Homo-oligomer: A and B are copies of this chain.
Amino acid sequence: MHYREEFLKDLRADIDEVDKQMVALLARRKELVARVGKIKNEHGLPVYLPEREAQLVAARRAEAERAGLSPDMMEDVLRRVMRESYASEGEHGFKCTKPGAGPVVVVGGRGGMGRMFVRHFQQSGYQVRILETEDWPRAGELFDGAELVLVSVPINLTVRVIERMEGLLSPHTVLADVTSTKSDPVETMMRVHRGPVLGLHPMFGPTSKGFAKQVVVYCDARHGERCGWILEQFRLWGADLLPATVDEHDGMMAIVQAMRHFATFVYGTHLHEENVNLEDVLDFSSPIYRLELGMVGRLFAQDPELYADIIFNSERGPRLARRYMERFQEALVMLEEGRRDEFVAHFREVKEWFGDLGRRFLQESSFMLERMHEKHGKRRDRPHPNAVGQDASKQWPGFD
């Protein structure tokens, strides 16, 4: 017995040693990746190269399999390590796609997203000017000779800010915004400016580590041929560029932002008014419900004004939400009347409509739930109640 415990201790020391070597290897990898980043930058190669990544992942999966390891585990580990690399590749700056360009003016450059753009344009060798509320008296001076004026202000201010620029911009300047709705901002930019106009929507928040693998939607409104260098620059930063019409973009955002955030808001209100004990709910949550709760809590941990902007500025959001509610009502009556067969029939119909995507989603979300499960530590301890409530003080011998 004693001998065995010693043996266990030795094995654990060996595992610790293996882990230490892994730390050393990862540090060496980081150093190599930094050198690759430097060369990529000098050659003007994008941070994110999908082909190289796919190749690398496939090779490591095969090696893992040969070594008797799970290829999925190897891929997960590798992807986690690579994500960290992307974040550090920009440290050495980026190649400039328009050498000799005039200054880039970021309106709202001290806000969350604004700062991110300022940093990236600076790291790419552009002269960057910031225009904040207090700088309007010298706006003409700041806009003078600008290659690009980028509007990065809260949604509900965007139109007013753009209107204020009327007559201040040269027709050579590209005017662009980064608001999450596109119809009003693009229309206003077209009205106040005669030069190139580009609507942008970076689909990520200021807490992201950079542009690598992030989707940026762009709406080419006027003289797109004179905006190419901007998109090319984003691509070097690692962005995944998605072209769209203003209409298409706003329709999609009603679904993926306005309606979704609204439903999450209602669900949080619901839990609050049910007055459930959230810690108890967490104890009883499967990984999938834990994730659901996480997404609700996440919304309420953020800024109410931001969500009010997104929800109340969507033209189509409310109509979409009303149709959803009508469907909810119909389904609820079906549930209340116990029409189980009808439920199953509807289920099969939607299942068919999802088709192969449903299976892909199942796979993807299983991956996520496993991650959730890894992360989830031990539950807090709870008192031991008696199942049918007769005698809560009873203790179980041999078990606690």
Q: In the complex, which residues 264-308 of chain A have their Cβ closer than 8 Å to any Cβ of chain B?
A: 265-274, 276, 278-298, 300-302, 304-305, 307-308
B contact residues around A33 at 8 Å (CB): 15
Contacts A253-B284, A388-B245 known; A292 to B295 CB distance under 8 Å?
yes
- Interface: A384 (CB within 8 A): yes
Of listed A40, A358, A388, residue having the most chain B CB within 10 A: A388
Q: Does residue A177 face the partner (Cβ distance < 8 Å to B)?
A: no
B26 x A301 contact (CB < 8 A) = no
> A201 to B362, alpha carbons, bound, how many Å?
23
Given known A-B contacts A300-B350, A382-B242, A39 and B84 have beta carbons under 8 A apart: no
Contact of A18 among B29, B224, B279, B304 (CB under 8 A): B29
Interfacial chain B residues near A297, Cβ < 8 Å? 354, 357-358, 360-362, 365
Across the interface, A398 reaches (CB within 8 A) one of B228, B270, B272, B373, namely B228
Interface flag for A311 (CB, 8 Å)? yes
Chain B positions within 8 Å of A5 at CB level: 43
Q: Contact check, B331 vs A269: say whether CB atoms are below 8 A apart.
A: yes
The yes or no answer to A76 lying at the interface (CB within 8 A) is: yes
Q: Which residues of B contact A301 (CB under 8 A)?
A: 351, 354, 358-359, 361-362
For the side of the interface on A, what is the size category? Answer: 35 or more
CA distance A389 to B249 in the complex (A): 12
Q: Are the CB atoms of B243 and A384 closer together than 8 Å?
A: yes
**A186–chain B nearest beta-carbon distance, Å:** 7
Q: Is the CB of B325 within 8 A of A325?
A: yes
Are A77 and B70 in contact, CB atoms less than 8 angstroms apart?
no
| A241 to chain B: closest residue by CB | B399
Flag if B311 contacts A27 (CB, 8 Å).
Answer: no
When the two chains form the complex, which single residue of B80, B343, B354 contacts A311, counting CB atoms closer than 8 Å?
B343
How far apart sit A335 and B318, CA to CA, in the bound complex (Å)?
7
Contact, CB under 8 Å: B266 / A331? yes
In angstroms, Cα B26 to Cα A22, docked, is 9
* Known contacts A83-B370, A244-B387, A331-B266; A228 and B308 CB within 8 A of each other: no
Partner of A373, one of B213, B289, B325, B365: B213
Asked whether A273 and B357 contact (CB < 8 A) given A64-B23, A244-B387, the answer is no
Closest to A74 in B: B23
- Closest CB-CB distance, A368 to chain B, in whole Å? 6
Return chain B residues, CB-CB under 8 Å to A108.
none
Check A217 for interface membership: any CB of B closer than 8 A. Answer: yes
A199 within 8 Å of B by Cβ? yes
Please name the residue on chain B nearest to A204 by beta carbon: B286
Q: Are B30 and A349 in contact (CB under 8 A)?
A: no
Q: Is A378 part of the binding interface, using a Cβ–Cβ cutoff of 8 Å?
A: yes
Top-8 shortest CB links A-B: A297-B361, A219-B387, A228-B399, A294-B365, A301-B362, A304-B347, A252-B284, A301-B358
